[in-house]
Structure 1
Amino acid sequence: MTLGDSGARRRGGRARNRARRAVLVLGAALLAATACAGPGGAEPGPERPVVGERAERPVLAVRYEVPAAADRPGVRFLHERRVMRAAEAALGSLLDWREREPTALLTRSCAGEGSSYDPEKRRIELCYDEIAETRTALREGGRRATDDEVAAVLLETLYHEVAHALVDRAGVRVAGNEEDAADRFAALMLLREGEAGVRRVLYAADGWAVLAELYEDDPEGAGEGTDTAGGGHAGHSSDRDRAVSLRCYAYGAVSASRRHLLGLTGPRALPAARAAGCADEWKGVREGWMRALGPVLRTEPPVVGSPQ
């Protein structure tokens, strides 16, 4: 199926097939089982929609499904890190949702299927198991896998799926490949947070870079978009290209005097030819999405801590 098919599930998270992720899923299960040894066990019920700052009607209506036993730490992580509340506050500050029903957001155990937007059910599904899988993948790739890094990856995934929901439910029109446009929306939402958002974008980029290192040289596990990067097809760009693009947007959004301090040089440095155009590239990303959001954009929306 392509994204043009009405029943297609838009997958923007770090979803991979079972064969490719067998090692990570095993590691994640062991990690989760260890975490489950602690006290407690009560599961949260459905959550009332969280109203973002200045939002007359919430953009997201969040419901937590009872998780599989191994995924209980994922539920706690979402609550403790306030991932949903952070996303709703940011979306509420940008979008005027007064005349629209909130977009359903179901958090659930996905058994490795990956987070997605389901246009048939008209809801976003965010997976508990991706939290442990992300942590395991980052560690396999030599990263520390701190809570901040994992939360940033989850936020980037969630914003990507919100972009698909905006296209499907709010009539937002984007140019070119919808998957790449959704990546750009995720970058826009994170970079509106200022320097904290820059760090989150770089953490998310690190996540894609790790997946590229772990899988894209594997002929059985080539990224689902490895043959689509720049080709205009309906899949994602390669994990490696997604990492580079996120870093480029962050580089372009930050003044030259702050790039070193924010980790945009050194190991994360972009090729000189790409870096030279990143300021214009980021400007195009921001202006393109702000035009596309016209029907649902707040009048003079507050910009939260612009990195510029």
Structure 2
Amino acid sequence: MGRRTGNGTRAVLTLALAAAVTGCTAGQEAADPADAASRWTHGKGSSGGFVVQYRTGGKAASATAYLRTRRILDKAAERLNDTVEVPHRIPLVVRSCGAAEPAYDPETGTVDFCAEHVEEIRDRFAHADRRGAPGAGDAHAAAVLEETAYHESAHALIDRLGLRFTGREEDVADQLAAVLLIGQGRAGEAKALAVAEDYALAAEETPFDEADLLDEHSLDGQRAANYACYVYGAHPTRHEDLVGAGGRVTEDRAEGCPDEWEQARSGWQRLLAGHLKRQV
């Protein structure tokens, strides 16, 4: 499931716990016949892996066009399929979800990628003071949506591969998303920092409610700090600006960020042992 909104549940990245997650409510749009030829499948004749499906029409039309033009989910599916061997077919389905958020549904084995979530993220960055180059807001939104795909796919992998872990599943899913982003090099590090910024913006926009402490997700502000910590931990010398005054990581925490990053990376390396096509 995603970032918290005013009612205590976020509009982006995180997934529901494997045993209790619920996906977006099924949309009423009919599948576009033209999509059949464009749905992405890794490997000729492969029956498993991540594929992207679009449900067009109604509220989903604008979000679908945005995702398809930029191939955000298609590229995410490619990276996932190039990284891990999955015997099951796991569709990433773009549809209108109503009031629900992006989520993996263990009953259907699909990730529902909600059009409403896409528009929310785009609006958040469009209205924020970017203080950057023209177009940065759009690039940041695309990065956050890519992270959402990885986060929800982590829930799918945990369920479909029967992975066993310790800690909270939502935190573990965030860690895989961070690993897959930061593993892309400098461009991926910038994407992970865009995710940190999005969580920070969400924290600023949403008044704190004590009920948030009961949620399965970490608080938005905490998740912003976590992503920044992973980026700094992966490459401390080129991200010194993240630490201290004006940064997203305190000096005390920065000392442990390299260990936090290595634990996230090596943890997923161990979880996916026997399924990996390449190291994460």
Deviates more, 1:198-207 or 1:167-176: 167-176
Structure 2 CA distance for partners of 1:201 and 1:240, relative to 1, 3 Å: same
Structure 2 CA distance for partners of 1:180 and 1:62, relative to 1, 3 Å: same
Does the 8 A contact of 1:55 with 1:92 survive in 2? Answer: no
1:1-308 superposed matches below 5 A: 11=1, 13-14=2-3, 16=5, 45-46=35-36, 48-52=38-42, 59-68=49-58, 70-97=59-86, 100-143=87-130, 146-217=137-208, 219=209, 226-227=212-213, 235-256=216-237, 258-260=238-240, 264=242, 267-298=246-277, 301=278
Deviates more, 1:133-142 or 1:238-247: 133-142
- CA shift, 1:121, in A, is 1.3
Counterpart CA distance in 1 for 2:7 and 2:60 is 17
Counterpart CA distance in 1 for 2:219 and 2:44 is 37
Does the 8 A contact of 1:54 with 1:92 survive in 2? Answer: no
Counterpart CA distance in 1 for 2:224 and 2:168 is 17
Secondary structure of 1:111's aligned partner: coil
Secondary structure of 2:213's aligned partner: coil
Deviates more, 1:144-153 or 1:273-282: 144-153
Does the 8 A contact of 1:15 with 1:115 survive in 2? Answer: no
Kindly provide the CA deviation profile for residues 210-247 of structure 1, in whole angstroms up to 9, marking residues without a partner as x.
11011143x4xx6x7x315xxxxx70000110110000
Does the 8 A contact of 1:16 with 1:113 survive in 2? Answer: no
**Structure 1 unpaired stretches of 5+:** 1-10, 22-41, 229-233, 304-308
Paired AA for residue 114 in structure 1: E
- CA shift, 1:67, in A, is 3.4
Paired AA for residue 245 in structure 1: N
Counterpart CA distance in 2 for 1:237 and 1:20 is 11
Does the 8 A contact of 1:18 with 1:112 survive in 2? Answer: no
Counterpart CA distance in 1 for 2:43 and 2:186 is 20
Kindly provide the CA deviation profile for residues 86-139 of structure 1, in whole angstroms up to 9, marking residues without a partner as x.
112211221123xx1221221101123110111111110001221221122234
**Structure 2 unpaired stretches of 5+:** 11-31
- CA shift, 1:171, in A, is 1.1
Paired AA for residue 264 in structure 1: L
- CA shift, 1:60, in A, is 1.0
Structure 2 CA distance for partners of 1:19 and 1:203, relative to 1, 3 Å: closer
Secondary structure of 2:3's aligned partner: coil
Q: TM-score normalised to the size of structure 1?
A: 0.74
Counterpart CA distance in 1 for 2:33 and 2:67 is 13
Counterpart CA distance in 1 for 2:94 and 2:265 is 29
Aligned residues: percent identity? 33
CA RMSD of aligned residues (A): 2.8
Does the 8 A contact of 1:248 with 1:282 survive in 2? Answer: yes
Secondary structure of 2:242's aligned partner: coil
Structure 2 CA distance for partners of 1:57 and 1:146, relative to 1, 3 Å: farther
Secondary structure of 2:274's aligned partner: helix
- CA shift, 1:203, in A, is 0.4
Aligned residues: 254
Does the 8 A contact of 1:16 with 1:114 survive in 2? Answer: no
Structure 2 CA distance for partners of 1:244 and 1:19, relative to 1, 3 Å: closer
Does the 8 A contact of 1:59 with 1:103 survive in 2? Answer: yes
Q: TM-score normalised to the size of structure 2?
A: 0.81
Deviates more, 1:263-272 or 1:283-292: 263-272
Counterpart CA distance in 1 for 2:168 and 2:89 is 25
